[in-house]
A and B are shown apart, each in its own frame.
Chain A
Amino acid sequence: DAGVIQSPRHEVTEMGQEVTLRCKPISGHDYLFWYRQTMMRGLELLIYFNNNVPIDDSGMPEDRFSAKMPNASFSTLKIQPSEPRDSAVYFCASSYQGSGNTIYFGEGSWLTVV
């Protein structure tokens, strides 16, 4: 398996623009997570899905952030409008309930908002 695949790997955008991050989880995994990593706040869980259904979005910072999982092999995290404080690395991760909880991370999307 190719692992969790994220795109884009790097994005630089201007404040106010819409940003869409994409994720393809490992085939067969039933959990999908979106994490944000910054120096100040470390690894924060934004939202996670189980069988394509959002379970906990309490980590989503505000209404500018939204996430969807239309099917088992695709998810998006959208920021609209983007702000400089959204600059971070966004990791998508997936796991399979039967795998004993091991979570596998994608390579991350490095977002810079100027």
Chain B
Amino acid sequence: GENVEQHPSTLSVQEGDSAVIKCTYSDSASNYFPWYKQELGKRPQLIIDIRSNVGEKKDQRIAVTLNKTAKHFSLHITETQPEDSAVYFCAAKITGGGNKLTFGTGTQLKVEL
């Protein structure tokens, strides 16, 4: 089955700096890659996603890039703010695998003042 690895497990940045979180996946049949943000005590919520026919997608301060050849994708947050502090999860879905997502292990992002 699909295996998703995520790095780093913790990330601390100064407010205003950029943050990058990286994920790799194992199954070349994966075609959908969402990112979820989970604040303490809350549910995971989708913040951005990308499909395998697109190399990059941007939404205000967040962007995701996908390298299908290398089987990795990354989340980029620019001009970080304290409210960006949360756990971020990447995930992957295999073509024909229903809507089943396999999640990475999460990155605890802390934005310091």
Contacts and interface: CB of A to CB of B under 8 A. Distances in A.
Q: Check if A and B associate.
A: yes
A45 B100 contact: yes
B105 interface: yes
A48 B98 contact: yes
B101 interface: yes
Interface in A80-94: 91
A48 B100 contact: yes
Nearest to A6: B43
Interface residues of B, number: 19
Contact of A55 (B34, B98, B102, B105): B98
A28 interface: no
Contacts of A56: 98, 100
B73 interface: no
B101 A105 contact: no
B67 interface: no
B25 interface: no
A105 B100 contact: no
A21 B43 CA distance: 16
Given A42-B106, A43-B89, A101 B43 contact: no
Interface of B: 32, 34, 42-46, 49, 89, 93, 98-106
Interface of A: 31, 33, 42-43, 45, 48, 50, 55-56, 91, 95, 97, 100-108
